[in-house]
Structure formats: structure tokens, C-alpha cells
Amino acid sequence: MNKEGTIYTIVFVFIVSFAFVFLLSLTNQATIEQVELNQEIVRQGAILSAMGIAAEGSEEIQEKYGMVATDPDAGLSVATVDGQLVYGTQFAGPGLWGTIEGVLAITADLREIVGIEIVSDNETPGLGGRINEPWFKDQFRGERVAADGIDVTQIAGDGDPDRANSLIDGITGATRTSDSMEAIVNRELQRLQSVEIQQILRSLESQGGDA
Amino acid sequence: MSDVADTRPGAILKNNLWTNNPIFMQILGICSALAVTNLLTNTAIMTLGVTLVTGFSSLTVSLLKKFIPRKVRMIVQTLIIAFYVIIVDLVLKAFLPEISKNLGPYVGLIITNCIIMGRAEAFAQSNGPVVSFWDGITSGLGYMGVLMMMAVFRELLGFGTLFGYQIMPAAFVRWTIMVMPPSAFFLLGLFIWAGKTMMRGEKT
């Protein structure tokens, strides 16, 4: 058979592609459970971290997460942290390149942000991707929420230490990502005020959740 | 590059690690050299991935070379490389999720690392499987060596740590630029300069 002929080439490419894709599917099947478990632990860890509950390692995360009252469908969680009732809400909103997913935690009176954690994003590494960095996320801890939500604006580029001004220092060179974060957080604050969400939160409160 | 045709294992090792180092001499695989070298742990895992992918891709290309029609040669090579890269990606996701997240899109981008394609095309296409595997592994090690050296400088000066362990005194002022991609350009330039100067010294 002519190795350079069209028929041989087509058959060869088909067989090679089939064989490699088949092997890949097998590997994917073999690892998918572990990958999903890892993602679940990351999600649980993010909820705990946003709520200000310290947990290290997958076992401690799963153990402490068990003490948080959650409604996975609504993406809501409720826990009492250091005697204070804290709501956690999972958000997903448009960033510059793709969806930014994360968790926002806030006190039960919706007046003060407890913390924020990013689960996944596709922002530019080194620019918008810096929303993952502690200096950016730590600015949200204890930040007061104004009547019209929070404001993410470029200030000095190294974080805004004032917790009372509802102002978060944005990321230099990533204005669009900073704006997206502002929009996402404010939309989430709005969502928490809706009657429907408040009802779910009340019922979660009654389930307890003492971390 | 007089000894490219020399296929003795020792000659290949020296060639790929030094005389014909993929980064110093061929200036290949630069994108990942800029991206992942600010932390030693990430660099080590990433370059280990590249080394394994290069080795096994060269092995597979060499085994299949008799059956591959010339006109689809490069497509098949890319397919083989992509296959191994996805395997590395899946393994990292399953067993080292933290590092997988840190490396982000760069694992998938190993596919585009020119070193792998270069070795498959330049060496494995015309040599036996065992020696091709060795050639791939040593090319990966040559790449790993340079990137690890860069990572030592970048992590030490940028974070004051090595493999995450604090080395510099607490009062040490971190060089923020070392964490950012531009510093890799400066370091790489200096490394290539130093490497080439030393090689010239050897020749005379």
C-alpha cells in the first residue's frame, strides 16, 4: 500500500486520532472523581475562608464545612463565627475575559463585608489575575457597606486600609476587572436583600450552623 | 553544532544540557521561561512536566515514524504532544490541585513549547526510539536547568524565599520587579550572555 497515498493518510490519521483520544478518555474517567472532589474542597474552603473560619487541609475543611448550614441550589450558607451571624453567598459574574466565581461573606445586617474569596477566574495573569492576591482580598475584610454598595477605584495600588469608607483600592492596569468586581459585589449585595433570599437565609439560620 | 549527528548517550547529554542547550543556544521555549519562573516549586513541576512530555513524545514519534505519511507528519506530532500534555494536566488536577491552579493555563501551553516539537522533528524523526527518548529527556533537563536557575534568583529576590522557605532576613526589601514577567527578560538576557561568553572561552 502506498504510504503517501490519500486513502492511507486518511485511514492512518483516523486510527491514530481514535487511539489517542480513546486513551485520553480512559485517563479522564480514571481521574474525574478525584478532580471533582478537589473542586468541591476548593469551593468549601473558599466559603470557609470568606466567612473568616480558619481551616487547613482537605480534612479540616470538610469537617468545618459540615458545621455551616448551606443551601447549595441558592449558593447560600449561614454560620455563626465568633458569636456573630455571617451569611455567605456564592457569586458568578462577568469579568474581562470570562466568568469570575467566588464567595462573598457578609454580616447578617448586611452592613459589613466579612470577606471575599475567588474560586475561579480567567483574568489576565499578573494584571486582573491579581484579584486572587491577599492584599486585594484583605481590603474587603470588615469593610462597611454604604447605601449604594461599595466602590472599587484605583487609589494608591497597594490597598485601602480605611474600613469605614466603603472604598476598595482597584488594581492598576486592570480597570475593567476592578469595575467587574465592583459590579459583581454590588449585585450580590442587592440579591441578598431580596425577599426570596431573605426567606432562605432565615430557614438556614433556624437550622443552626455553629462553626 | 558540529556534534548534532553524534548519537552516543554521553554526547547527547552534553549537547542538550550545554553545547546546544534549548534555551541558551536555540532560544526555544521562552514564553514559559518568562511565565512560570517566579516560584521554584511551580518551576520544578512545570519543567518536570515538559521533560516527561518531551521524552515520551520523542519516543512515540520515533516508534511511529515508519507509519506516518510525510504530509501529515507535523499534525501527528502535535497530536502526540497534545496527548501527553493533557495526561500531565489531568494528573496535576487530580493529585496536585494547588499547583495545577498556580500553573493555570501554562500546563496546556506546554503543547506550544517549541522544544518538544523541535526534538520530535529534528531528532526523533530520524533516530531509534530509545535514543530519542534519551534525547527528549536530556533536552527537557537542559530547559529545566536554566529555568530553575532563573527561579532561584526570582524567588529569592522577589519573595525572599526558596521553595517557600524564608531565606532572607525579615527586614529584606522584596524586589517586586522580580515577581513580574519583565524581570525574566533581564535575567534571561544576562544568562544567555554569560552562557555564550563561557562557551566562547571553551572554544579558544
- Asked whether the predicted pLDDT for residue B2 surpasses 60, the reply is no
Asked if A104 contacts A113 with a C-beta cutoff of 8 angstroms, the reply is yes
CB contact under 8 A, A125 and B104: yes
How does residue B3 score in pLDDT terms, banded at 50, 70 and 90? Answer: very low
Q: Cβ contacts (< 8 Å) between B108 and chain A: which residues?
A: none
pLDDT, mean of each 10-residue run, chain A (211 residues): 85 94 94 91 91 85 86 86 89 91 92 92 80 89 89 80 86 88 93 88 75 49
How much is the mean pLDDT over chain B?
A: 85
Q: Residues A12-69: pLDDT tens digits?
A: 999 999 999 999 999 999 999 999 999 899 899 999 999 988 888 888 888 888 888 8
What is the DSSP-derived secondary structure letter of residue B15? I
Cell of A48: 470557609
Comparing CB atoms, the residue among A17, A39, A126 nearest residue B181 is A126
Q: Does A24 touch chain B (CB under 8 A)?
A: yes
Three cell numbers, residue A106: 457578609
- Between CA B63 and CA B57 the distance in angstroms is 10
Per-residue confidence (pLDDT) for residue B135, from 0 to 100 = 93
Question: How would residue B5 be classed by pLDDT, with cut points 50, 70 and 90?
Answer: low
- Cβ–Cβ gap A4/B69 under 8 Å: yes
Domain ranges of chain B: 9-148
Distance CA B114, CA B54 (A): 10
Tell if the CB–CB gap between B93 and A9 is shorter than 8 Å. Answer: no
d(CA B94, CA A20): 20
Residue A170 Cα to chain centre, angstroms? 18
Of A77, A93, A32, the C-alpha closest to B93 is A32
pLDDT at A1: 67
pLDDT at A210 (0 to 100): 53
pLDDT in tens, B116-145: 988 888 899 889 999 999 999 999 999 999
Instruction: State pLDDT tens for residues B136-195.
Output: 999 999 999 989 999 999 889 888 888 878 888 878 887 878 877 788 888 888 988 888
With bands split at pLDDT 50, 70 and 90, how would you rate the model's confidence at B97?
A: confident
Domain ranges of chain A: 46-206
Q: Is A15 on the interface with B (CB under 8 A)?
A: no
* Backbone phi and psi for residue B149, each to the nearest 5 degrees, phi listed first: -60, -45
> CB neighbours (10 Å) of residue A20?
18
B181: region left, alpha or beta (phi > 0 left; psi from -120 to 50 alpha): alpha
The answer, for A38 touching chain B at a CB cutoff of 8 Å, is yes
Considering only CB atoms, which chain B residues are within 8 Å of A31?
90-91, 93-94
